[in-house]
Amino acid sequence: MNPYLLGIFAPIVMSILFRNAKNGKKRGLPVEVDGEPGYAIRNYRFLKPVESAWEGITTLAELFEQSCKLYPSKHLLGTRELIAREVEVSEDGRSFEKFHLGNYEWLSYGEAFEAVCGFSSGLVQLGHGKEERVAIFADTRAEWLIALQGCFRRNITVVTIYSSLGEEALAYSLNETEVSTVICGRKELKKLIDINGQLDSVKRVIYIDDDGISSEVSLAERNTNWKVTSFAEVEKVGRENPSDSDMPVSADIAVIMYTSGSTGLPKGVMMNHRNVLAVVSAVMTIVPGLGSKDVYLAYLPLAHILELAAENVVVAVGGSIGYGSPLTLTDTSNKIKRGTKGDASQLGPTVMTAVPAILDRVRDGVRKKVDAKGGLAKRLFDFAFGRRLSAMNGSWFGAWGLEKILWNFLVFRKVRAILGGRVRFLLSGGAPLSGDTQRFINICLGAPIGQGYGLTETCAGGTFSEYDDMSVGRVGAPLPCSFIKLIDWAEGGYLTTDSPMPRGEILVGGPNVTVGYFKNEEKTKEVYKVDERGMRWFYTGDIGRFHSDGCLEIIDRKKDIVKLQHGEYVSLGKVEAALSECPYVDNIMMHADPFHSYCVAIVVASQHALEDWAEKNGITFTDFSELCKKKETLKEVLGSLMKVGKKVRLEKFEIPAKIKLLPNAWTPESGLVTAALKLKREAIRKEFSEDLSKLYTS
């Protein structure tokens, strides 16, 4: 047969066969207990939850040592050489710090193992006691992983803290865990010095050598009674005075991970080696063909379980980890000197993790660039994109086979180059990814995205949507290390007997479920429970439903459901999602309580939509915040919300009766939304408490 014809027809035939197979594929199957199905749902490939993918390996320390012995001369940890730090001044006179970064310099597995053993022995020399805890409070970098593994070899529990955590939360978590040694970088050292009066238990600080850190070091030496040592020094002393390792067992606590609670102070989630190893084993089975050829770009916070698990997965298979940062990721990133290379194009990663906010940014960046080019380039892009989209939608007339190759070469190759051109798998987690962005990345990068749903409390275990599942909006079937079960939540109107799909609160069980909250028995008992069959479950507070193929979809959040005065329930999240379709809404937070019969909302106005409306209707104003206060503006926005609400069939009591319009967007810096741009309800309620009560009284 003519090879060209084969090139066109084979993919079409394959796609038909595949599509049928995919549609019928059950990815989650019922767990049968005592012959009774429907107890919980498991991954279709594994009868029992996976605990360790490697025989005889029960801790992360053993897993690391195994890889170092298997791949001694392979690259493990890569860090970019800093060529220069420069200050660029923009046209409007503001100055920006820019980096000129060079090649990756690598430590092999063998060298990394020596560094880990050195650091581990160095801790002993420094006087760090056997049962004391270490905190790592630093950006993602090679030293972070070395320190982590160094601690594991001594059976030391590591406390992790987000580097963006506020002062109060920082002092609280270090104090609660009685940390005696803190490992930090330059800006973190500065924060520690600021609150040193509140840190009763800290005795030693190990700083990672950073350009210009010496001023903070001398400040610490003058103003605190900490013993301040550099990372390199600890490692050197350890190499000169090696001590035997003191390996943990699988039930020993590996990490206490502090997560910001939506209310009040952070909570420390205790994870043992068994928990993390189960998740590492599970993730390994779901990334297709992961092996020692893979190169991983690490830039998300290691204080987040997703990144910690991902890096340990790469170590487990003998891959390489190149370090970067969100601000130097691409050639056009904020801190990259113009004309030099970003981390991705320098490294050429094959596997990456991402949070939705970053992928949204990539998408918007590409769209903007294409729009700016305009003309033929834009038309070509839109055409190619449409052709690939209809192929993805399952149409035979879309761009398959040779046409796909053609568009990839002509159009999407340039987009792929943004992330180095070699990415073959993307792992997304932390928040739900919009279907639109998922499709965009699928098409432009030509790389599948696996999406995870999990929480710190479940050690990132939960569900995972597989790369060949082309549906959007669902979070997939249980991970091989997890069981998932739904239970009735009658108050909210969600029942496991609902048709066509069972609905209810999502529970996660399996070896992945963590030990509980540190020093917080009460809260632990509230959300971790053992059922009548002896299985331990974490109560997520999320509401989901199971599709017939065993995949989960998150549909609501328990905490966000409020009962009104007359007993009607309002799901704040659902209403917000529906009303955000209103053109005047940039962001919206619904508010309801049991003391009133109607809802109110805080709305961040979309500036250009409102200004367009004002112009068309001859409404004059001097600045946008004035426009937001005008009676007629409020009336217009309320009317529009009503219209959208009716269209999507919201109940009357679900549509806000009164609103407050805000002129300024909510950003993570303002503390009102998370880094993934999720609403922080408590913070917003606090900030606008006066406005909210006015809405109910006026």
Ligand X SMILES: *[C@@H]1O[C@H](CO)[C@@H](O)[C@H](O)[C@H]1NC(C)=O
DSSP one-letter code for 446:
-
**Shortest Å, Cβ 405 to ligand X:** 19
| Candidate residues 116, 147, 171, 234; the one interacting with ligand X per rule CB under 6 A | 171
Judged by beta carbon, residue 99 or residue 483, the one nearer ligand X is 483
SS3 readout for 1-63 = CCHHHHHHHHHHHHHHHHHHHHHHCCCEEEEEECCEEEEEEEECCCCCCCCCCCCCCCCHHHH
Judged by beta carbon, residue 26 or residue 48, the one nearer ligand X is 48
**Shortest Å, Cβ 453 to ligand X:** 19
Give the separation between CA 407 and CA 496, rounded to whole angstroms.
46
**Shortest Å, Cβ 132 to ligand X:** 9
638 binds ligand X (CB under 6 A): no
Judged by beta carbon, residue 384 or residue 590, the one nearer ligand X is 384
Judged by beta carbon, residue 97 or residue 168, the one nearer ligand X is 168
Q: Are 330 and 419 in contact (CB under 8 A)?
A: yes
DSSP one-letter code for 410:
I
Long-range contacts formed by 363-368: CB under 8 A, 24+ apart: 363/436, 363/437, 363/440, 363/441, 365/332, 365/418, 366/415, 366/418, 366/440, 366/444
Q: Are 494 and 503 in contact (CB under 8 A)?
A: yes
| Candidate residues 111, 233, 252, 593; the one interacting with ligand X per rule CB under 6 A | 252
**Which SS3 state, helix, strand or coil, does residue 86 take?**
strand
- Binding range to ligand X, per CB under 6 A, among 85-93, 509-517, 630-638, 668-676: 509-517
Judged by beta carbon, residue 197 or residue 374, the one nearer ligand X is 197
320: β partners? 295
- Binding range to ligand X, per CB under 6 A, among 171-179, 213-221, 375-383, 448-456: 171-179
Site string for ligand X, 309-338 (x = CB under 6 A): ------------------------------
| CA separation, residue 278 to residues 144, 282, 457, 476 (Å) | 22, 6, 14, 18
Longest dimension (CA), the chain: 81
248 binds ligand X (CB under 6 A): yes
Tell me which amino acid residue 179 is.
V
E strand residue ranges, 474-618: 477-478, 483-487, 503-509, 516-517, 528-530, 536-546, 552-557, 561-563, 569-571, 585-591, 600-605
**Shortest Å, Cβ 101 to ligand X:** 38
Judged by beta carbon, residue 23 or residue 393, the one nearer ligand X is 393
Judged by beta carbon, residue 108 or residue 198, the one nearer ligand X is 198
Closest CA to 258 of 248, 266, 247, 246: 266
**Shortest Å, Cβ 48 to ligand X:** 6
Judged by beta carbon, residue 141 or residue 363, the one nearer ligand X is 363
| CA separation, residue 491 to residues 246, 475, 495, 558, 649 (Å) | 51, 25, 10, 10, 21
Judged by beta carbon, residue 384 or residue 602, the one nearer ligand X is 384
Binding positions for ligand X, 390-449, rule CB under 6 A: 390, 393
| Candidate residues 175, 224, 285, 434; the one interacting with ligand X per rule CB under 6 A | 175
**Shortest Å, Cβ 429 to ligand X:** 21
**Shortest Å, Cβ 662 to ligand X:** 32
**Shortest Å, Cβ 289 to ligand X:** 28
**Shortest Å, Cβ 151 to ligand X:** 11
Closest CA to 654 of 586, 561, 582: 561
Give the separation between CA 693 and CA 593, rounded to whole angstroms.
11
- Binding range to ligand X, per CB under 6 A, among 104-112, 181-189, 307-315, 505-513: 505-513
Judged by beta carbon, residue 311 or residue 457, the one nearer ligand X is 457
Give the separation between CA 76 and CA 68, rounded to whole angstroms.
9
Binding positions for ligand X, 108-147, rule CB under 6 A: 131
200 binds ligand X (CB under 6 A): yes
Judged by beta carbon, residue 248 or residue 645, the one nearer ligand X is 248
Judged by beta carbon, residue 151 or residue 315, the one nearer ligand X is 151
Other C-beta atoms closer than 10 Å to the C-beta of 610 total: 24
| Candidate residues 74, 239, 536, 557; the one interacting with ligand X per rule CB under 6 A | 536
**Shortest Å, Cβ 511 to ligand X:** 4
**Shortest Å, Cβ 440 to ligand X:** 12
Closest CA to 153 of 68, 280, 240: 68
Site string for ligand X, 147-166 (x = CB under 6 A): --------x-----------
**Shortest Å, Cβ 155 to ligand X:** 4
Task: Report CA 212 to chain centroid distance, whole Å.
Answer: 31
Query: Please, where are the H alpha helices in 393-419?
Result: 401-407, 413-418
Contacts of 117 (CB under 8 A, 6+ apart): 150, 153, 238, 239, 242, 245
Judged by beta carbon, residue 155 or residue 408, the one nearer ligand X is 155
554: β partners? 544
Residue 192, φ and ψ in degrees, nearest 5? -65, -40
Cα–Cα–Cα angle for 92, 95, 100, rounded to 5 degrees: 130
Binding positions for ligand X, 640-669, rule CB under 6 A: none
531 binds ligand X (CB under 6 A): no
513 binds ligand X (CB under 6 A): yes
Site string for ligand X, 376-395 (x = CB under 6 A): ----------x--xx--x--
Tally the residues of the chain: 698
Site size toward ligand X (CB under 6 A) is 20
- Binding range to ligand X, per CB under 6 A, among 244-252, 348-356, 361-369, 618-626: 244-252
Binding positions for ligand X, 48-87, rule CB under 6 A: 49
Judged by beta carbon, residue 50 or residue 283, the one nearer ligand X is 50
| Candidate residues 5, 6, 21, 249; the one interacting with ligand X per rule CB under 6 A | 249
Judged by beta carbon, residue 237 or residue 269, the one nearer ligand X is 269
Other C-beta atoms closer than 10 Å to the C-beta of 648 total: 13
Other C-beta atoms closer than 10 Å to the C-beta of 602 total: 24
Judged by beta carbon, residue 157 or residue 345, the one nearer ligand X is 157
Which parts of this chain interact with ligand X (CB under 6 A)? Answer: 49, 131, 155, 171-172, 175, 198, 200, 248-249, 252, 386, 389-390, 393, 510-511, 513, 535-536
